Every structure is written in structure tokens, then in C-alpha cells.
Structure 1
Amino acid sequence: MKHFFQFERYNTTYRKETVAGITTFLTMAYIIIVNPAILEAAGIPRGPSTTATIVAAVFGTVVMALYANRPFAIAPYMSENAFIAFTVVKVLGYSWQTALGAVFVAGVLFTVLTVFKVRSWLAEAIPLSLKCAFAVGIGLFLTFIGLNETGLVTLGVPGAPVKMGNIASPSVLLAVFGYLLTVFLMTRKIHGAIVIGIVATTVLSVACGVTPMPTEFVSMPPDLSPILFQLNIGDALDIRFFPVVLTIFIMAFLDTVGTLIGLSMRADLLDEKGNLPEIEKPMLADALATTVAPLLGTTTTGAYIESATGIEEGGRTGFTALVVAGLFLMSLFFAPLFTIVPPHAYGIALIVIGSFMIEPLRRIDFEDFTELVPAFLTIVLMIFTYNIGVGMSTGLLTYPLLKTAAGKRHQVSAGMWVLAGLAVLLFVFFPKM
């Protein structure tokens, strides 16, 4: 097992990888509840959708573990599920079966482009400054999510989009305690600090009556048959549905590229040129998962940014992902137990991780505006639009334009122009991302 996952090469151990897997799972277990709740708005029944969410996560994460040997967990994407439910179905009026058909078509395209190494060619065309911006933006995006989940930051009033939460509320006080405990343990170099912080906050939250105990701990998984293989590929191939397919394709592509590069930079997996060796392997794991997910009855899947929490705990190989997959599999029967972790407990992990992911800022050339401005726009728009795809698209579009305006067109690769074109298409077909 150690030889298969190359523990010696990545200087890791079973303990590090296991703790990393548990940490990643705890910070993303919310998807078991949230994804079905969002897709229910599209008419997909919640019970079967819960099973589909878990099975899709298990499939994708196992492929990531055994084929790609990377510590990245895969599950249904949050932004794409909201796009399917509220835009494609509720606003545009298409059926959820047709929407899932579009996801399947996008997954097939991903697989073909990955096999022919087109996706890896495009990923390697991205300049180092933007790759650093992706990592920093994702880190701060995670922090913003964590601040919202813990209640430390809430929606504001007109003129102030956000504001400080109610610092006197029990959940916020527990979050502050959990954060300080986690930081203290990390300062003391205690392994498993993040998972200890999450578990300790959860236990205290239950003990204080802030988080209710589940009525049951074990349950049989809901029947998947009502949504299994119910996708409508025929209608998804209709020319009138092309903008939706294209939007799903580009959103998922950008999310995956940004997440893989950002996480790999934090895990020190990039080579001297800033590229992830054999990036087509995790990309293929992502593509296959996206192809299988709509067959099961759920939406686009991909590498999760919450994997950063496991990476921070030392996860470096596919064994971390294998642990995550095992825990997701267990959650089919122990969903009430795993989903007891409240937002103010897993949110603290996301805040902690953000502080570690701003390091790549040092690699951005602050003296060259053609490098600085696209990186800056990428980071701030990821956070302030609450959308990774918007930030990435802006950076990919402004980089070649500024280089050309500054007489440095020779520094822009052909792949970057292709990515800029995809960014333009995304803004044209889906201007309200």
C-alpha cells in the first residue's frame, strides 16, 4: 500500500493521510444535506438525491485516489447545482432530466478532451501569476465561506453588503473558541489540529444545546431508482439548449482547473514551471465523475476546495482521498451521525486554511502591471462575487488583453487565447453568474 501510493516520495505516513482524509470529509460532509436540498427545488426528490450525491462522491474520489494518486476529494459542485436548479429549471423552464442530460454531455466532452490532453494543454498555458492568484483567491474564498458559516460575518443592510455577526450568540462564541483552539494546537505543531478543533466544537455545541442530537444514528440509504438513468440526453442535444451545455462546460472546466492548481500549489505538488505533473489524471477522474453523476441523478462533480483542509494536515497522496471515499460510503448508513457537525464547527477550518493559502502572493510580480492587475482582479472577484468562475474568467480575459496593450503579446501563449475566448463565451451566455 505504501509503495502504491508512493508514501516515501511524498514523505507521508498512514497517520498523516488518515487524519487528512477525516479532516477533508468533516469540512465537506455538508454536501450530503445541502446538495439534495438545492436540487429539490428543481424537482429531484431529496431522498434519492442524497444517495446519488454520496455515490457520486464515492465514485469520483475513489478514481482520484487509485488512478490519479492525489489528495483531492470529488463531490457535486455547489455553484453548478444552484445553476441547474434555479436558472436552468426554475427560470428557463427546462426539466431536471434535460438539465442532467446537459451535464452528461459536458462530462463526455471533458473525458474526450482530457484523453487527448487538450485540458492539460490549456491548464499549462496559464501563466504563473494567474496560478498564484487562483491559489490565493481560493484560500480567501474559503475564508469568506467560513466567516459566513460561523456567523462571524453576515449579510448587512443597504450600503453595507456584509457586517459583523452577533458576537454574543452561542454559535459564534463556539466558533471563536474552536478557531482559537485550532490555531493554538497548530502553533504547538499538534498533528490533527484541525480535526480536533472541529470535533471539540461539535461536542461542545451538542453539550450546550446549540446543536440538537439526531433522532437516529443509523439509517438505510434511500432508494435511488426514481432518479437513476432518468436523464434526457436527446433534448439536451437540441441546438436551443446549446448555451446551457456550453455554460455548464465552461463553469466546470474553470472550477476544476482553478481548484486543482490552487490545491496543488498549497500541497507543493507543482513542478518548477508551476505545472502539476500528470494533471490529466486528476482531470480524467473529474471528467469520469461528471459523466457518471447525471446517470445517478445528480449534477456536475469536481475536485473540492475543502480538500485544502486535508492538505494542511499533511495529506499528499491518493490515500487521503481513499479515506474520504470510505467515510462517504459509511455515510450512506450513518448520514445522521456524520451530518451532526454544525456550520460553526467546520467553518473554523475554512478560516484557518485561508491564512495558509495567501503565501503565493509573494510570487506575483508587483512591479509589472500586466501581471499584477489580472491577478488582483482574479482574487477580488472570486471573493466579492462569491464565484470562483467569475474571478478566473476575468483574469483569463484581462491577462492577454493587457499584455497585448503593453506590447508584450509574445508572452501570451496560444492556449491563453483559447481560455480568453472561453471566458468571453461564459460572460456572453451567462452574464449573471
Structure 2
Amino acid sequence: MHDFLEKTFRLSESHTTIRTEILAGVTTFMTMSYIIFVQPAVLSTTGMDFQAVLASTCIVSAIGCFLMALLANYPIAVAPAMGHNFFFAFTVVATMHYTWQVALGAVFISGVAFLLMSFWGVREALVHAIPDSLKRGIAVGIGLLITLVGLEWSGFLAASPATLVSLGDLHHPSVWMSAMGIVITSVLLVRRSRGAILAGIVTSTALGLFFGIVRFHGIFSSPPSITPVALKLDVAGAFKLGAIPVIFIFFFLDLFDSIGSLIGIAEQGGFIRDGQLPRAREALLADAIGTSVSALAGNSTLVSYIESAAGVAEGGKTGLANIVTGLLMLLGLFLAPVAQMIGEGYKNAAGLTLYPTVAPALIVVGAFMMRNVARIDWNDPLEYIPAFVTLAFIPFTFSITDGIAFGFISYVALSVIAGKYRKLHWLMVLFTLLFLIRYAAI
């Protein structure tokens, strides 16, 4: 078995071990396990069957992880995208009044379009066309975004009509849970102990049980059927003239969320070589195939998950970590009560849903990703201004796509003004124009 894993995932070449990859895979799973319950909670508002979507989420996430592992050999998990699911449920279905079947059809068409772009190498070329300064700005911006999410999910931050955000209720048990998780994780990191992030999640979960915030639901359960949602997509309905913009938005969101997450995690993990991401085409192909399969299985868009940064922080370097994450996703069909205990959110007095068990992992991983700020060329305004725009807009717009868009626009504009337009890659110019058209149409 060891020889097979060594040959398949090139462990020695990547300076890692089976134990490290397993730990990384478990950490990534625990950090992203909330999606098993958040996804059906969101999509079920459209009339989709909750249990069927839960099963579908486990299955398509596992398939996405396996594809990324076997095609690209990266420890980057693939699962239904947060944000995309809200667009699916509350914009396409609730506001635009399309059926969830038509929405699935739009997801499928965008996935097929991605598949074609990946085969033709367009997405890979775009990854390589992005300047190094923007790549690092994207990584830092994603780090700030997941830190912001972590602070919100812990209860450290609360909404404020005057300043948008303010300090939350520091006396609430959710804050104590997260704070203790951060302390345990930080102490173990200082001592250079393996499993620091995982230990933080376990600590927060244990405290949650003590405070009664986390509920024990048992261990095993029977896997639900995906029949109520599988193969129910309406492709013909999605091709109707009025639904074409929906396809375009799914396409745009998936394109830049996936590329942004991929670049951010690759920068953190040291996978980028001389400004290039090895096996970028295979990595992008994995989430393109995954999105198409996801729509067939009754689910929304799949993307590379930024929570994978937690597994990378634990030393994950190969697809073996992703195999572990995928297997745990499948086990989630049978161990749903355990996954629910870790990933289940609860509503506080203000009606906000908090996830204090996984919040410490996001906050600490955000700190890891901030290291990329030192690699931005702060002596060249043409490099650091667009990088700063990118890293600022990603967390403050709560959107990887919008952050990348404004980074692109500022980089191209400054290059033209400075008379350095000849160095611009044509794909940068093309997508900058597409971004401008998109914002002009809003």
C-alpha cells in the first residue's frame, strides 16, 4: 500500500508522509464540514428536498476531491461554493422566479462551458497571465476574507448600522469557545506540534458540548437518497433568453472564485514555481467536471475551497490529503450526526448563524496567508497599488470575484497611464473589459 501511495502521489518528491497527508485531509474536512448542513439548509428554501441535497453534497464533494487528487495531485478540496448557493436560492429562484430545475440547468451549462475552456487551456492561460503582485494580493485578500468570516462566525464581530461591524458580545459562550480554540492552536503552532488546527477545532467542539451550544446527535445514521433532486435539471429552460444572464453570472462567479482560491492556496503552500502553477489545467479541469456532475446530482456550483488552506497549513502537499477529505465526505453519509455536531451552526440572539467550532481554524489560517504580503513589490507603485486594491476589495466586498475584478481594472488602467501597456497580457485586457461591461450593466 505504501509503495502504491508513493507512486501515485509522489510523497517523497513532495517532502511529505502518509501520516501528514492524512492529518491534513482530516483537518480540511473538519474545517469545511459545515457545508454538509449549510448547503441543504440554503437549497431547501427553493423546494428541494433537504435530505436529498445533504446526500448530494457529500457525494459531489467527494467526487470533486477525488478528481483534484487524481488529476492534479493537489490537497485542495472541491465542494459546493458558499455564495453561489445563495445566488442560486435567493436570486435565481426567489427573486427571478425560475424553478430550481432551471437553476440546475444553468449550473450544468456553465460547468460544460468551463470544461471546454479547461480543455482549450483558456483558464490555465488566465492563471499564468495574472501578474505575481496580483497573485499575492489575491492570497492575502482571501486570508483577510476568511479571517473576517472566522471573526463573524465566532461572535467576536457583530453587525453595526453605524460602522457596518463592531465588537460582539465578549461574554457569550461562542466567543469563549472560539478564543480557546485559537489559544490551543496558537500554542501548538508555537511549539511546532502537528495537528494544531485540528486540536483547536476539537477543543472548541468540546467546549460547545459543555456550554450546550453544540448538541450531540449520535454517531451513525442511514444515508438518505438523492433521487428527489438527481437528474432533475431543466437545460432547455436555462437556454431561454431571459435565463441567459443567469448562466453568465454562474460562469463568471465560478471562473474567478475557483482561480482566486486556487492561486491563494497555491501561494500559501509554495506550489507556484517561477510565477507558474504546475498542473493548473488539471486542477481547473477537476472543478469544471465537478460542477457538471454536481448539477446532474442536484447541486450548485463546485469550486476549490479556501478552507483547504487549513490542511495545507498542517503540511498537506499532495492529492492524498484530498482522497482522505473525499472519503470523509462519503463517510458523512453514515456519520452525519458527528459531522453535524462539528459543522452545525446556531442562531444567536440577533438572529445571526454562528459556527464557533470551525471559526478558530479560519482565523489562524488567515494569519498564515498574510505572509504573502511581504512578497509584494512595495517599491513599485504599478505593482503594489493593484495588489492593495485586490487584497482590500476581497474582504470588504465579501467577494473573491469582485476583489479580482477591481485588481484587474486598476492594474490595466495604471499600466496604460504609465505607458507600459505593451507588457499587458491580452487575457488581462480582455477580462478587464468584461468586468467593466459587467459593472456597467448592474
**Offset from partner CA, 1:79-127 (integer Å, 9 cap, x none):** 1111111111111111111111011001001111101111101111111
Query: Structure 2: how far apart are the matches of 1:292 and 1:144?
Result: 31
Partner of 2:350: none
Pick from 254, 269, 281: which aligns with 1:252?
A: 254
Query: Structure 2: how far apart are the matches of 1:28 and 1:278?
Result: 24
Identity in percent: 38
Contact conserved, 2:142 with 2:394, CA < 8 A, in 1?
yes
Query: Structure 2: how far apart are the matches of 1:203 and 1:425?
Result: 50
Query: How many angstroms does 1:405 deviate by?
Result: 1.2
The reply to whether residue 107 of structure 1 matches residue 132 of structure 2 is: no
Pick from 195, 207, 210: which aligns with 2:210?
A: 207
Pick from 61, 67, 72: which aligns with 1:63?
A: 67
Query: Structure 2: how far apart are the matches of 1:340 and 1:226?
Result: 26
Contact conserved, 2:36 with 2:58, CA < 8 A, in 1?
yes
Partner of 2:421: 409
Query: Structure 1: how far apart are the matches of 2:282 and 2:366?
Result: 26
Contact conserved, 1:331 with 1:338, CA < 8 A, in 2?
yes
> In structure 2, what residue type is equivalent to 1:23?
T
Kindly report structure 1 stretches of 4+ aligned residues shifted beyond 4 Å.
none
Partner of 2:407: 395
Counterparts of residues 29-428 of structure 1 (less than 5 Å): 29-156=33-160, 158-214=161-217, 216-272=218-274, 274-341=275-342, 343-428=355-440
Contact conserved, 1:123 with 1:257, CA < 8 A, in 2?
yes
Query: Over the residues paired in the alignment, what is the CA RMSD in angstroms?
Result: 1.2
**Offset from partner CA, 1:30-85 (integer Å, 9 cap, x none):** 00000111111222121111111111101111111112110010100011111111
Q: Secondary structure at the match of 2:24?
A: helix
Contact conserved, 1:250 with 1:422, CA < 8 A, in 2?
no
**Offset from partner CA, 1:316-367 (integer Å, 9 cap, x none):** 0000000000100000011111121152121101100111111221222223
Query: Structure 2: how far apart are the matches of 1:209 and 1:361?
Result: 40
> In structure 1, what residue type is equivalent to 2:88?
I
Query: Structure 1: how far apart are the matches of 2:63 and 2:337?
Result: 21
Q: Secondary structure at the match of 2:303?
A: strand
Query: Structure 1: how far apart are the matches of 2:21 and 2:305?
Result: 17
Query: How many angstroms does 1:139 deviate by?
Result: 0.7
Query: Structure 2: how far apart are the matches of 1:427 and 1:25?
Result: 36
Contact conserved, 2:77 with 2:305, CA < 8 A, in 1?
yes
Contact conserved, 1:48 with 1:222, CA < 8 A, in 2?
yes
The reply to whether residue 7 of structure 1 matches residue 11 of structure 2 is: yes
Query: Structure 2: how far apart are the matches of 1:84 and 1:425?
Result: 22
Contact conserved, 1:122 with 1:419, CA < 8 A, in 2?
no
Query: Structure 2: how far apart are the matches of 1:200 and 1:426?
Result: 45
Query: Structure 2: how far apart are the matches of 1:92 and 1:2?
Result: 50
Query: Structure 1: how far apart are the matches of 2:36 and 2:357?
Result: 16
**Offset from partner CA, 1:384-415 (integer Å, 9 cap, x none):** 11111111111112211111011111121111
**Offset from partner CA, 1:129-174 (integer Å, 9 cap, x none):** 1100110001111101110111111112x21211111111112112
Query: How many angstroms does 1:208 deviate by?
Result: 3.3
> In structure 1, what residue type is equivalent to 2:153?
E
**Offset from partner CA, 1:362-382 (integer Å, 9 cap, x none):** 222223222222211111111
Query: Structure 1: how far apart are the matches of 2:67 and 2:7?
Result: 18
Q: Secondary structure at the match of 1:229?
A: coil
Query: How many angstroms does 1:241 deviate by?
Result: 1.7
Query: Structure 2: how far apart are the matches of 1:219 and 1:40?
Result: 20
Q: Secondary structure at the match of 2:179?
A: helix
Q: Which runs of 5+ in 1 are unaligned?
A: none
Contact conserved, 1:69 with 1:317, CA < 8 A, in 2?
yes
Contact conserved, 2:216 with 2:337, CA < 8 A, in 1?
no
TM-score between both structures, scaled by the size of structure 2:
0.94
Query: How many angstroms does 1:424 deviate by?
Result: 2.4
Q: Secondary structure at the match of 1:389?
A: helix
Contact conserved, 2:62 with 2:327, CA < 8 A, in 1?
yes
Query: Structure 2: how far apart are the matches of 1:421 and 1:15?
Result: 47
Query: How many angstroms does 1:425 deviate by?
Result: 3.9
**Offset from partner CA, 1:286-310 (integer Å, 9 cap, x none):** 0000000010001000110000000
Contact conserved, 2:144 with 2:395, CA < 8 A, in 1?
yes
Query: How many angstroms does 1:428 deviate by?
Result: 4.1
Q: Which runs of 5+ in 2 are unaligned?
A: 344-354
Query: Structure 2: how far apart are the matches of 1:319 and 1:13?
Result: 10
